[in-house]
Amino acid sequence: MYIDNHPSNSDINSVYVDHEDAVKIGTEYLIQAGHRNILLLNRPAKLSSSLYFKKGYIKTLNKHDIPIREEMIKHNPISIEKTFTQLDSIFSGEDRIGRDDFTAILSLSDAIAKGVYESALKHDFSIPGKYSVVGYDNILYTKYLNPALTTLHQPKAQTGLRSINLLLEQIEENHNKHIQIVLNPELTVRSSVKILP
């Protein structure tokens, strides 16, 4: 059984969140708020979820005729420190993009978003004044950040419960049906996104 991961074939039971849809929701929200230059802080490129994140981001930009810039897609470990280092390279002029090339950051983990908040302290930029930020996961501390983080809620408790029920059902009924359950993420709107004029 796959949990929180989309299997490559259909003969495996799985329960997962639609990561591509999550990124579409987050990107769409930022575009509707007036942002066209959105930095995507993605997870490591080798992760299958990262491919879905990138696909959702690109599809949404294409939908709004916003040019795709590969340099606006960064792949880093899910780490506050690595995110801090990534933004350091942008602000120091060592990256292909500069500090004025984007107005919003879509971070595909709340830990990555926390790295953005840490960078704001060092580089003295405001959230959402300089950069709007959207996270992913909706872990507990995000509502206590200053400002409270707008994030995509990933229904982890529901994922676990549905996985257990599916496994028990398969054991008790001794069946070989292959079931894939897809759960939908939801946007939790707080205070970290600025609406541009």
The three-class DSSP label of residue 1 is coil
CATH superfamily of the domain spanning 19-154: Response regulator (3.40.50.2300)
Q: Which pLDDT score is estimated for 47?
A: 85
Give how far the C-alpha of residue 1 lies from the chain's centroid of Cα atoms, to the nearest Å. Answer: 24
Beta bridge partners of 104: 38, 132
Strands 104-107 and 38-42 come out as parallel
User: What tens digit of pLDDT does each residue of 52-82 get?
Assistant: 999 999 999 999 999 999 999 999 999 999 9
**Which pTM was predicted?**
0.86
Give how far the C-alpha of residue 85 lies from the chain's centroid of Cα atoms, to the nearest Å. Answer: 19
**Burial status of residue 188 (CB atoms within 10 A of its CB: 0-12, 13-18, 19 or more):** middle
User: What tens digit of pLDDT does each residue of 8-53 get?
Assistant: 666 676 666 788 999 999 999 999 999 999 999 999 988 888 999 9
Does the CA dihedral 167-187-52-104 come out positive or negative? negative
Domain extents for the chain? Answer: 19-154
Q: What are 28's two structure tokens?
A: 């769409």
Distance CA 37, CA 101 (A): 7
The CA R_g of the chain, rounded to the nearest whole Å, is 18
Q: Which pLDDT score is estimated for 115?
A: 96
Q: Label residue 165 by pLDDT band (50, 70, 90).
A: low
User: What tens digit of pLDDT does each residue of 91-147 get?
Assistant: 999 999 999 999 999 999 999 999 999 999 999 999 999 999 999 999 999 999 999
